[in-house]
A and B are shown apart, each in its own frame.
Chain A
Amino acid sequence: MRARPWGWNPTGRRRWGILALWLGHAGWLLLGHGGSGRWQNALDLLSRPSQAISLKWQAWRHQRSLNLRNYETAVAEVQQLRARTEQLQMAAIAEAQSRGEAEGAMRLLELKKLVPLETRGARVVANLRHAPYGGLVLDQGEDAGLVPDQGVIVPEGVVGRIWSVSAQQASVLPLDAYNASTAVMLARSRATGVLQGVGPGKAEIRYIDRQEVVQVGEPVYTSGLDRVFPRGLLVGYVTAVRVRELELGLEVALAARFDRLHLVLLLPPKPPMQVQPPAGGRP
Chain B
Amino acid sequence: MRKVEAAPNPLRHFLLTLVVIGAIHQSALWPSVQAILNTFLVLALAPEFRSPLVGAFWAAMAGWILEGTLRAYPHLGGTAFANLNMALLAAWTLSLWPPLTRKVALTRFAVLALIHGLLIHAFVRVACGPHPWGWAWLWPILTAPLWGWIGFKLHRPTHRR
Contacts and interface: CB of A to CB of B under 8 A. Distances in A.
Interface in B78-104: 78, 80-81, 84-85, 88
B52 A36 contact: no
B84 A21 contact: yes
Given A50-B28, A54-B29, A29 B77 contact: yes
Interface string A124-144: 000000000000000000000
B68 A43 contact: yes
A28 B53 contact: no
A189 interface: no
Contacts of A51: 29
A49 interface: yes
A126 B26 CA distance: 89
Interface in A33-61: 33, 36, 39-40, 42-44, 46-47, 49-51, 54
Contact of B88 (A17, A18, A39): A18
Contact of B60 (A21, A32, A39, A50): A21
B81 A18 contact: no
Interface string B41-62: 0000000000111001100100
B160 interface: no
A26 B81 contact: yes
A25 interface: yes
A21 B57 CA distance: 8
Interface of A: 14, 17-18, 21-22, 25-26, 28-30, 32-33, 36, 39-40, 42-44, 46-47, 49-51, 54
29 contacts: A14-B52, A18-B88, A21-B53, A21-B84, A25-B60, A25-B77, A28-B77, A29-B78, A29-B81, A29-B127, A30-B126, A32-B77, A33-B75, A36-B75, A36-B76, A39-B64, A39-B68, A40-B68, A40-B69, A43-B25, A43-B28, A43-B68, A44-B69, A46-B25, A47-B25, A47-B26, A50-B25, A50-B29, A54-B29
Q: Is the contact region of chain A dominated by helix, strand, or loop, or is it mixed?
A: helix
Question: Which among B52, B81, B126 has the highest number of chain A CB atoms within 10 Å?
Answer: B81
B28 A22 contact: no
A132 to B, nearest CB: 93
Contact of B52 (A18, A32, A43): A18
A33 B75 CA distance: 6
A223 B115 CA distance: 118
Contacts of A33: 75
B66 to A, nearest CB: 10
B45 to A, nearest CB: 17
Contacts of B53: 14, 17-18, 21
B28 A25 contact: no
A180 B104 CA distance: 114
B25 A39 contact: no
Nearest to B78: A29
B69 A25 contact: no
A91 B80 CA distance: 77
A18 B29 contact: no
Contacts of B81: 25-26, 28-29
Nearest to B127: A29
A36 to B, nearest CB: 5
Contacts of A49: 26
B113 to A, nearest CB: 21
A264 to B, nearest CB: 84
A51 B60 CA distance: 24
B10 to A, nearest CB: 16
- Give me the 9 closest cross-chain CB pairs, A-B, nearest first: A50-B26, A43-B68, A25-B81, A54-B29, A17-B53, A36-B76, A29-B77, A14-B53, A43-B69
Nearest to B63: A25
B42 to A, nearest CB: 14
Given A33-B75, A51-B29, 12 more contacts: A18-B56, A21-B53, A28-B77, A28-B81, A29-B77, A30-B126, A32-B77, A40-B68, A40-B71, A47-B26, A50-B25, A50-B27
